Structure 1
Amino acid sequence: MEPGDAPVLALTCGEPAGIGPELAVMLAADGTLSARVVAVGDPALLAERAAMLDRQLDIRVLAPGESPPAPRQGLLPVWPVALRAPSQAGVLDTANADHALETLDVAIDACRSGRAAGMVTAPLHKGVILDAGHAGFTGHTEYLRDACGVDEVVMMLATDSALHAHETGWHGDSALRVALATTHLPLREVADAITAPRLQRLLRVLHADLHRRFGVSVPRIAVCGLNPHAGEGGHLGREELDVIIPALEALRAEGLVLDGPLPADTLFTPRHLEGIDAVLAMYHDQGLPVLKYAGFGRAANITLGLPFVRTSVDHGTALDLAGTGRADPGSLRVAVALAVEMAQRA
């Protein structure tokens, strides 16, 4: 692929007080990008972070309708979104919550209009967005779902060694894709949110995008139980018997290849993961601690079910690292590489 033919990706810089802006600077400065990545953020802030990190960078603001240039070391094209107030590294300011959300809107518009093949997102800070008055904001995944008007999306994280796992099979503990049946919910609300219709919608999206976006010809998905020991035959909870098993049986009748429900404490072992293309965990902290232990900093977050590609980092805003130069761009590099791979299959 010639550099000028590389897909265009919109990279939102996330919370301006966090490490997102400097991660964008680092990737542009090190020259490892395989896509025409356009940062979506405040050009002055990016220049300030580049100076703080002592990185030489050509920050090029693109005019409306201007085609992003081919990637090269030291170049960072930008679709500008002005800060609402000056931003200090590590210090949150609710005045900039609207700025962070506007970067998402600009990237969404670029994807939906065909100017970008996908979007990659640096981390947001949910708390400051809520404190700014955006009640009900629960994260990128749900915001993108609502903005695109789709019925269902799936949050999935993948380690870097799982990106090509469909070609060679699983590579042991470090290769993993974990999708979530529920995302950012208080634990006491999880059981009520898991219904048979919802599980069926989620698993259809997961199955379809494993095939469409990852090239898995016949996806095999392992499904966690909700309760310890997957309910122990109803003695430790009836959700498996009353909800999960009937949902899986209906989907198997449609041709989906599903294992489970399986106890989460034994599912995440090499023997049970052999031949599995993805795991569906029932809630956030059932599946993601395992994945992050296996590959934190080398994994990416993916939103499945959108009309375009979206990937993200596997970490938060790291306010304590912002402006220090100690942030690790590894996860963002994986997220960009994964978005390129997915966009080329679209």
Structure 2
Amino acid sequence: MSSAQFLVVGAGLAGASTAWRLADRGFSVTLVERDVPACAHGSSHGSARIFRYAYPERAYVDLVGASEPGWAELSAVHGAPLITRTGALDFGSDRHPHDLATVLEAAGVDHELLPQEQARERWPQIAFDSDVLLHAAGGVLDAESTVGAMVAAARAKGAQVLTGWPLQRLERTGPGFTAHALDGRTVQAGRVVVSAGGWLPELLGNLSLPSGFLGAFPALEVREENAFHFPYRDGGGSAWPTLIHRRRSGYVYALPGGRDAQFRGQKVAEFNAGRVLTSASTRSGVVDPANRERVVEHVRRFLPGLEPEPYAETTCLFTSTPTEDFVIDEADGVTVVSPCSGHGAKFAPLLGEIAADVALGTGSVPERFRVGSAPVRGG
């Protein structure tokens, strides 16, 4: 039986970041993962996630800025950039690009507001239906490499990493905890951080958390999202930024697909439109044909620079709260760092810092991430 000052459950982006930050502060850490870090069954796999500053609320814009030093630090540790700055575009009647520009202006983030026709001239491969917000600092982050870099950094600071270790329950034992795996193995720790993503709904009641904390915990929704890769018509993607296109009839995002699809095209998906699951363990891995049909039609109408026939497709997990805010809070020695509501990857190095502070009782955490806080919607 191994023991540590901290047990971190889940080696996705948030969990790996927390293990790295705790180990870097000199604490003994055991990181357990039900599969392998950034596994394909979780929410942190693959090489393509949007990095963006554009949010309707200043608080999230500021958090993106606060994450930048951590990204620079982690890229230095990794030995290569983890974010490719392609630029990011926001448009559509319900994306409100002018309102987003006002928020970026107040936050001091460089941006441009482009009339619809001017944007069409600049990016003829995209059929814009509104004015367009561009901010050059946006781009694509490599989630899998980020997790790998954080796990390696944690190991370099002495953290133990156990893979193929699915947590079943936590038991309070003396001043700390005994964590029990499904196969009977155990780990002891003084304090525990749980970052279980889509598995949190089935774990939450087995974490020895106080009833008041559980009663105030926001409802969790796990979705099996669908993502599709469409080839570039011209055979190259050097001119493609990331896109968020939101209309009353749909919310679609797109980004260069990276290694996930041999750099051949754009990854295109609807946001929060997948099948609702009870937990990650009920994921089917089967793409929804109706979802595919809607995304193909969107590509036909709005992305003429792509062939409207996907050459690759996959499913992935989004686990969300009703407000789309994260949960980072602690109760009696157990800190919950989950879920990330489909937009948390860009904050990864910062989430670990906040979680470490919460677990240690130092620093501060945005009130909106506390269990039982007043509902405020993310974006």
* TM-score past 0.5 threshold: no
Which has the larger strand fraction? 2
Question: TM-score normalised to the size of structure 2?
Answer: 0.26
Which has the larger helix fraction? 1
Question: TM-score normalised to the size of structure 1?
Answer: 0.27
